Amino acid sequence: MAQTINQLLNKRSILVLGFLWLASLFSGCTANVIDSNVEIPEHKWTYRNHIISPFEIKDNSKAYNIFFKLRHTADYKYANLYILAHFKDGKNKTTRRYQFKLAKNDGEWLGSGSGNIFTYTFPMLTNYRFPHKGKYEIEIEQNMRDNPLLEISDAGVLVAETQSR
């Protein structure tokens, strides 16, 4: 009986260690510099409510992908979203305007849905190389005609190293 319990414990230990090893492989594929998500109060995104994401680049020899993350409810009334993204490195500031398509022409949402919430991750810059090591900031503001913009639940920024192959 004791031998059977030891065999089960050894098998279980091997399975747990194998799972942890696999999990570490998958989580180590890309290193996120920042993965921010800011809740929008009362689902009303105003012009003044900027999403500010500071981060630090420690290795500017690597390429990075920068994404805008968004979640909205099914009651959002537009098929798209315009934002202004301000990229800051302390001294310099660059602003770009982005339009993201959220729904097909027939009104079907393009994001992944969970109940009444739809989630998106949109690329803003791909294979981007930061000019120097140091502190950076990305500031996002909504750029639609409505103020406040209703039914936006949260927004954020993801900066991740590109995957080497």
Tokens found for residue 22 = 């696999």
Tens of pLDDT, residues 61-91: 999 999 999 999 999 999 999 999 999 998 8
Higher pLDDT, 8 or 91: 91
Look at residues 76, 89, 86, 78 and name the one whose alpha carbon lies nearest to residue 130: 89
Topology at the third CATH level for domain 31-161 = Jelly Rolls (2.60.120)
- pLDDT of 105 > 60? The answer is yes
CA separation for the pair 94, 85 (Å, rounded) = 8
Higher pLDDT, 68 or 22: 68
Residue pair 78/132 in contact by the 8 Å Cβ criterion: no
Q: What is the percent of the chain with per-residue pLDDT over 70, rounded to a whole number? A: 81
**pTM, two decimal places:** 0.80
Tens of pLDDT, residues 110-125: 999 988 999 999 999 9
Secondary element (H or E) of residue 94: strand 93-101
